[in-house]
């Protein structure tokens, strides 16, 4: 790494100047209100509004320190993936190896972990597949971000409600309904690196009030030629991976909601070229790629609101396919890694407010993994692996939220889980939420969570360089987490948060390499501790300007863990620009120095900017996003499958979008 | 190469910036805008002579718990087609209202209100999806930061209100 990739005061200065410029531009919008009854009705229809409701109220009462990202935030910042959204969230950071995006939180991002320690839900339905437990956060996430109503990032143990995988946190995505998106819209995107995207959506509401939504998108990007000095020999194209950083993807969403019933179908497929030569592949071979395909169906029935008992019943089914094409080191054959998972299940829950002062929740959650198949074969050549299994998990949970006096609430939850091949486990959580004053809330949260080892970690077997040995006896990992927080709201539009946490992880499932053995193996590691503090300041102004700034510090074990930055800082700004049809947004992120498997990766500051013009023409919106505004060079640590100690990330990228409503 | 890119980038940003600058309307607080819509609904609705005689005030009703109430109060004493607007906190009877604005707080009493309103010449405007879908004459919604509305013609007919063709043309959908 060169010195220029380190953070420079000039970056911070430039970001500051930009922020000031945004502020100045925003100022004219603060002018005196006009008499709207004097404006022609046709003109009112074209004018933008901003909402008076500032923060989601229940976030204050939640038994966790929730960050809520709204559809408006997504639009302001021009975020394209969940990973980009997560980068802006207090305490989270993202690592990318040009194949997948990996999420880290509060000092933990294990090499070889496919986001298994975060539970990703879309409208309450589990998106993590059942072979790798992977939470897809990049292009492989099955939903376009403009179909999202809001995203809740819930840090801390969530197993007391959700069972396995809700280990470091839960990401709750709530989709928009057909009625909210009434009409038809076409969106086109073009940007650097040959990025192109087209999407269409149509939403309508029938006379009977049933809402329909259909949305589809297709995208591709060529990526860039990338240079890796680790492969710089004449027979490896002098270390240049040419034309294999491409990505292609398609997504489809169909939903129907009417009365108490809603049904959603989601499907996505993503193909990504792998330019890094990971898993000892032949470098710069155009055949190298991974394909992720997931289909999810979720049917939800809810009893009518207003009754003392509210019942809900959910049935779900999922299908996930992975295909990895890895040309062998000499390019003689292509190794195909293929897995297939199929699951279905049901969840029943009831919320009761019958007892005064109590909100009781109880539920039963069942999932059947009807097929967990992992295959590996050489083409031409032999079968290396054909592992077929079935599994199930059952969970039973209760939670009570009770008022203890006027100022104090207690949230007590408990869940019992049985996962195939493992003994039962109980996960408790207790949270005390106490209003110190009218403006200040104190929260104390304690809980434990677990993650059952997945089929990939236990049974995958591939001999040789870049391979893996199975470990059927792998035990689950558990976390014991405590957090103390203060939330101060001096006014309707301002929120200050301070929080301190301590996590103790037992049996952390870790990919381990041994000297003299070419394969790695997943094993339960000894106890690891992490502790830290976080601060956040949020502010909204009249006329729709918003700011969110946070700082996080974490320390792990005796010496920092791999890929665990001690310091994270973030700033997000959005404001109306000029006379009101435009909004501008700026985000600045600092990720501190990280230990890699080989050497350290320096810290970096990254800035992204986005401008949205809401009415370039009638019914036409345009936006321009600039990612990595200052063209910083930065890198993320590589994992065991990489020869690179650090993997360089994208420079400045532009993306223009235009959308038209009919 | 690098500087040319930077120039192109600057030009693009400047272009968008320039497009942002002209005096388009500034964003408006959502509730103020919804109140302005309600005002326009009254402008483009015709009540039968027997319930709204010439020069008589238009009763605009909403519950004080409705988040729009404050914004609606600003319409008090404004004149619509020769009728002064009188904003009232809905108590009973709602049959005396010309315009009744509802929100999600009214969900529970909506079934009962509907019975009460049967045959009455009341323009019901709902700011709640479930009431909009269940027989309100006009339903409000927010889409991409803009206010849209849908009209239920069956409900308008049963309230024997005459909605102008302009209002129907501006609606997102008419059912």
Q: What residues of A are in contact with residue B129 (Cβ under 8 Å)?
A: 179
Q: Domain segments of chain B: what residues?
A: 30-174
Residue with tokens 């499932």: A509
Instruction: Calculate how close chain A gets to B173, using CA atoms only, in Å.
Output: 9
Whether residue A495 contacts residue A488, with contact meaning beta carbons closer than 8 Å, is answered with: yes
Helix, strand, or coil here: A340? strand
Long-range contacts of the stretch B9-16 (C-beta < 8 A, 24+): B9/A626, B9/A652, B9/A654, B12/A624, B12/A654, B12/A656, B13/A611, B13/A624, B13/A626, B16/A582, B16/A611, B16/A613, B16/A622, B16/A624
Helix, strand, or coil here: A363? strand
Instruction: For residue A34, give Cα distances in angstroms to A313, A576, B144.
Output: 49, 17, 22
Instruction: Calculate how close chain B gets to A58, using CA atoms only, in Å.
Output: 17
Whether residue A139 contacts residue A100, with contact meaning beta carbons closer than 8 Å, is answered with: no
CA-nearest of A407, A448, A466, A427 to A639 is: A466
CA dihedral A31, A37, A41, A42 (to 10 degrees): -20
**B20-48 mean pLDDT:** 82
CB contacts under 8 A, B 154-173 vs A, are 166, 170, 172-173
| Assigned token pair, A353 | 């407010």
pLDDT at A346: 97
CB of B73 within 8 Å of any CB in chain A? no
What does the H/E/C string look like for A522-566? EEECCCEEEEEEEEEEEEECHHHCEEEEEEEEEEECCCCCECCCC
Contact B29 A576 (CB under 8 A): no
pLDDT at A655: 95
Contact A179 B141 (CB under 8 A): yes
Helix, strand, or coil here: A30? helix
| Assigned token pair, A225 | 């030629």
Number of H helices and E strands in chain B, helices first, is 7, 11
CA-nearest of A254, A155, A161 to A203 is: A254
Bridge partners of A605, per DSSP, are A590
| Assigned token pair, A623 | 């936006």
Q: Closest chain A residue to B151 measured between Cα atoms?
A: A207
CA dihedral A431, A481, A107, A123 (to 10 degrees): -50
CA-nearest of B58, B38, B60 to B47 is: B58
CB of B31 within 8 Å of any CB in chain A? yes
Q: What residues of B are in contact with residue A48 (Cβ under 8 Å)?
A: 25, 27-28, 145-146
Q: Closest chain A residue to B32 measured between Cα atoms?
A: A36
| Residue from the list B9, B39, B141 with its beta carbon closest to the beta carbon of A180 | B141
Whether residue A102 contacts residue A115, with contact meaning beta carbons closer than 8 Å, is answered with: yes
Q: What residues of A are in contact with residue B5 (Cβ under 8 Å)?
A: 652
What architecture does CATH give domain A9-661?
Beta Barrel (2.40)
| B35 Rama class: left (phi>0) / alpha (psi -120 to 50) / beta | alpha
What is the C-alpha separation between B3 and B6, in angstroms, rounded? 5
Helix (H) or strand (E) holding A13: helix A9-26
Q: Closest chain B residue to A657 measured between Cα atoms?
A: B16
CB of A661 within 8 Å of any CB in chain B? yes
pLDDT at B26: 57
Helix (H) or strand (E) holding A18: helix A9-26
| Residue from the list B23, B148, B175 with its beta carbon closest to the beta carbon of A207 | B175
Contact B43 A577 (CB under 8 A): no
Residue with tokens 């049933």: A210
What is the C-alpha separation between A562 and A226, in angstroms, rounded? 25
Contact A37 B78 (CB under 8 A): yes
Contact A46 B25 (CB under 8 A): yes
CB of A580 within 8 Å of any CB in chain B? yes
Distance of CA A411 to the CA centre of its chain: 26
Whether residue B4 contacts residue A649, with contact meaning beta carbons closer than 8 Å, is answered with: no
Helix, strand, or coil here: B8? helix
Helix, strand, or coil here: A192? helix
Q: What residues of A are in contact with residue B141 (Cβ under 8 Å)?
A: 179-180, 182
Helix, strand, or coil here: A343? strand
pLDDT at B30: 85
In chain B, what are the helix, strand and coil shares in percent, each to the nearest 5?
A: 40, 25, 35
Contact B25 A661 (CB under 8 A): no
pLDDT at A92: 96
Contact B30 A51 (CB under 8 A): yes
Q: Count CB-CB contacts under 10 A for residue B82.
A: 9
- Alpha helices, H only, chain B: 2-20, 30-43, 69-73, 107-117, 129-132, 153-158, 165-170
| Residue from the list A51, A209, A624 with its beta carbon closest to the beta carbon of B13 | A624
Contact B170 A42 (CB under 8 A): yes
Contact A52 B17 (CB under 8 A): no
Give the DSSP per-residue string, A143-185: S-GGGEEEEEEEES--HHHH-TT-SSEEEEEEEPPTTTT-EEE
Q: Which of B10, B19, B26 to mutate to test the interface with A (most CBs of A within 10 A)?
A: B26
| Assigned token pair, A89 | 């969230």
CB contacts under 8 A, A 265-304 vs B, are none
Q: Tell me, what DSSP letter sits at residue A454?
A: P
For chains A and B, CB pairs below 8 A equal 152
What parts of chain A have a pLDDT lower than 50? 1-32, 52-57
CB of B79 within 8 Å of any CB in chain A? no
* Multiple choice CATH, B30-174, 1.10.10, 3.90.220, 3.40.50, 3.30.70: 3.40.50
Whether residue A612 contacts residue A76, with contact meaning beta carbons closer than 8 Å, is answered with: yes
Q: Record the pTM.
A: 0.81
pLDDT at A4: 38
pLDDT confidence bin for B62, thresholds 50/70/90 = very high
What is the C-alpha separation between A375 and A19, in angstroms, rounded? 52
Contact B145 A46 (CB under 8 A): no
Instruction: Calculate how close chain A gets to B47, using CA atoms only, in Å.
Output: 20
CB contacts under 8 A, A 348-407 vs B, are none
Q: Domain segments of chain A: what residues?
A: 9-661
Whether residue B101 contacts residue B72, with contact meaning beta carbons closer than 8 Å, is answered with: yes
Instruction: Calculate how close chain B gets to A543, using CA atoms only, in Å.
Output: 6
CB of A180 within 8 Å of any CB in chain B? yes
Q: Count CB-CB contacts under 10 A for residue A399.
A: 20
């Amino acid at each position: 790494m060169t010195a220029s990739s380190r953070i420079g005061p000039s970056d911070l200065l430039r970001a500051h100047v930009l922020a000031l410029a945004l502020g100045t531009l925003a100022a004219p919008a603060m002018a005196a209100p006009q008499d709207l009854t004097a404006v022609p009705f046709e003109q009112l229809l074209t004018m933008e509004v901003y909402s008076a409701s500032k923060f989601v109220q229940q976030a204050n009462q939640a038994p966790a320190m929730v960050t809520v990202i709204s559809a408006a935030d997504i639009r302001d910042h021009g975020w394209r993936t969940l990973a980009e959204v997560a980068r802006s969230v207090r305490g989270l950071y993202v690592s990318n190896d040009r194949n997948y995006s990996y999420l880290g939180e509060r000092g933990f991002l294990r090499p070889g972990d496919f986001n298994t320690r975060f539970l990703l839900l879309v409208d309450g339905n589990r998106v993590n597949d059942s072979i790798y437990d992977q939470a897809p956060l990049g292009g492989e996430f099955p939903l376009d971000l403009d179909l999202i109503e809001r995203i809740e990032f819930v840090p801390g143990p969530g197993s007391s409600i959700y069972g396995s995988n809700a280990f470091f946190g839960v990401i709750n995505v709530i989709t928009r309904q057909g009625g909210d998106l009434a009409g038809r819209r076409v969106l086109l995107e073009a940007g650097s690196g040959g990025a192109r995207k087209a999407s269409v959506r149509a939403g309508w509401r029938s006379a009977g009030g049933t809402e329909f939504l259909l949305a589809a998108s297709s995208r591709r990007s060529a990526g860039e030629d990338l240079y890796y000095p680790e492969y710089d020999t004449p027979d490896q194209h002098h270390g240049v991976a040419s034309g294999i950083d491409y990505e292609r993807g398609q997504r489809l969403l169909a939903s129907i909601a009417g009365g108490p019933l809603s049904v959603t179908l989601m499907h996505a497929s993503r193909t990504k070229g792998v330019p890094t030569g990971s898993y000892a592949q032949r470098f710069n071979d155009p055949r190298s790629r991974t394909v992720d395909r997931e289909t999810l169906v979720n049917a939800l029935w809810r009893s009518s609101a207003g009754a003392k008992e509210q019942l809900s019943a959910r049935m779900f089914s999922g299908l996930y396919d992975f295909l990895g094409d890895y040309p062998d080191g000499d390019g003689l054959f292509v190794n195909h890694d293929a897995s297939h998972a199929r699951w279905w299940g049901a969840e029943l829950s009831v919320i009761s407010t019958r007892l005064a002062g109590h909100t009781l929740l109880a539920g039963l959650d069942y999932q059947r993994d009807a097929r967990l198949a992992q295959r590996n074969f050489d083409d031409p050549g032999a079968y290396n692996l054909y592992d077929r299994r079935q599994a199930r998990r059952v969970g039973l949970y209760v939670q009570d939220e009770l008022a203890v006096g006027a100022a104090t609430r207690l949230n007590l939850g408990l869940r019992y889980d049985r996962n195939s091949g493992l003994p039962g486990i109980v996960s408790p959580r207790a949270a005390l939420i106490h209003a110190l004053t009218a403006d200040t809330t104190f929260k104390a949260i304690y809980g434990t969570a677990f993650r059952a080892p997945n089929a990939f970690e236990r049974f995958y077997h591939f001999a040789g360089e870049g391979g893996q040995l199975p470990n059927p006896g792998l035990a689950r990992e558990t976390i014991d987490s405590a957090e103390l927080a203060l939330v101060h709201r001096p006014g309707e539009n301002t929120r200050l948060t301070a929080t301190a946490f301590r996590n103790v992880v037992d049996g952390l499932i870790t990919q381990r390499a041994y000297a003299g053995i070419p394969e790695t193996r997943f094993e339960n590691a000894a106890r690891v501790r992490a502790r830290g503090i976080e601060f956040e300041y949020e502010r909204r102004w009249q006329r729709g300007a918003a700011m969110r700034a946070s700082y996080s510090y974490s320390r792990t074990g005796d010496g920092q863990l791999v890929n665990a930055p001690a310091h994270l800082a973030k700033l997000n700004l959005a404001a109306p620009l000029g006379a009101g049809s435009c909004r501008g947004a700026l985000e600045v992120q600092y990720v501190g120095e990280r230990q890699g498997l080989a050497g350290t990766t320096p810290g970096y500051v990254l800035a992204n900017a986005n401008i949205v013009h809401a009415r370039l023409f009638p019914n036409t919106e345009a936006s321009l996003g600039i990612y990595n505004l200052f063209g910083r060079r930065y890198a993320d640590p590589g994992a065991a499958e990489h020869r690179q100690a650090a993997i360089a990330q994208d420079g400045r990228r532009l993306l223009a979008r235009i959308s038209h409503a009919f | 190469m690098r500087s040319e890119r930077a120039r192109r980038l600057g030009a693009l940003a400047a272009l968008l910036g320039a497009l942002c600058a002209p005096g388009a309307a500034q964003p408006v607080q959502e509730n103020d805008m919804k109140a302005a819509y309600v005002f326009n609904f009254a402008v483009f609705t015709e009540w039968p002579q027997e319930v709204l005689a010439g020069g008589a005030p238009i009763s605009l009703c909403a519950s004080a718990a409705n988040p729009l109430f404050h914004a609606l109060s600003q319409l008090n004493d404004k004149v619509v087609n020769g009728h002064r607007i009188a904003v009232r906190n809905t108590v009973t009877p709602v049959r005396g209202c010309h315009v009744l604005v509802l929100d999600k707080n009214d969900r529970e009493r909506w079934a009962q209100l509907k019975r009460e309103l049967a045959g009455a010449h009341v323009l019901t405007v709902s700011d709640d999806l479930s009431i909009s879908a269940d027989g309100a004459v006009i339903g409000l919604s927010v889409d991409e930061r803009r206010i849209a509305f849908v009209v239920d013609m069956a409900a308008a007919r049963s309230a024997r209100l005459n909605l102008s063709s302009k209002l129907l043309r501006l609606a997102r959908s008419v059912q």
